[in-house]
């Protein structure tokens, strides 16, 4: 089990192998990437998971504008297999190669890329902004400010849970 990763037992061998390859190429921990995808998909690891409000779709909840920048659409992404959509995950994450040293930095590439490499106390969102309202569930202490650490805490919980599904 040298290549056991969080959530590895919840996905197919081809999905897991591709995550291992992508993570090695990006210099990030595959368990961190899997935990971020577990959070973003509600532990489903499917390409068709959609946010009804934002239209974000898939393994890392690609926004429509992001999908377009990657040369596709969220509708096309939703129709893909999860394994095929991993190619877009890799393409999206490529600019962050070597910069995803922590779980919070892996998650920041998805949620708020400007925070990659910043301290855990870095403020992402604060009231009364729209960004805060859209992410208010991440404000653990309800102080009207969401820090990088607070935002990553839910992904950290997925990492801990996912270690029970190593494979």
**pLDDT at residue 53 in the model:** 81
Q: Where are the chain's structural domains?
A: 8-165
Category of 157 on φ-ψ map: left (φ > 0), alpha (ψ -120 to 50) or beta:
alpha
Tens of pLDDT, residue by residue over 87-98, are 999 999 999 999
Distances (CA, A) of 55 to 17, 70, 83: 28, 16, 21
Tens of pLDDT, residue by residue over 15-73, are 999 999 999 999 999 999 999 999 999 999 999 999 988 899 999 999 999 999 999 99
**pLDDT at residue 15 in the model:** 98
Tens of pLDDT, residue by residue over 28-38, are 999 999 999 99
Give the side-chain half-sphere CA count within 13 A for 113.
10
Tens of pLDDT, residue by residue over 120-158, are 999 999 999 999 998 999 999 999 999 999 999 999 999
Bond before 61 cis per omega within 30 degrees: no
Classify domain 8-165 at the CATH class level. Answer: mainly alpha
């Amino acid at each position: 089990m040298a290549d056991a990763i969080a959530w590895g037992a919840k996905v197919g061998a081809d999905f897991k192998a591709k995550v291992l390859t992508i993570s090695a190429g990006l210099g990030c921990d595959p368990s961190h990437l899997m935990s971020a995808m577990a959070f973003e998909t509600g532990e489903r690891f499917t390409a068709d998971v959609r946010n009804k409000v934002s239209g974000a779709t898939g393994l890392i909840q690609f926004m429509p504008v992001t999908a377009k920048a990657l040369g596709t659409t969220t509708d096309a992404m939703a129709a893909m297999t999860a394994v095929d959509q991993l190619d877009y995950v890799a393409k999206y994450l490529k600019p962050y190669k070597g910069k995803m040293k922590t779980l919070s930095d892996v998650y920041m590439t998805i949620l708020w890329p400007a925070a990659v490499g910043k301290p855990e106390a870095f403020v992402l969102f604060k009231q009364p902004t729209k960004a805060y309202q859209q992410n208010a569930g991440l404000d653990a202490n309800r102080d009207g400010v969401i820090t990088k650490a607070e935002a990553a805490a839910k992904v950290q919980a997925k990492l801990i849970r996912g270690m029970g599904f190593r494979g």
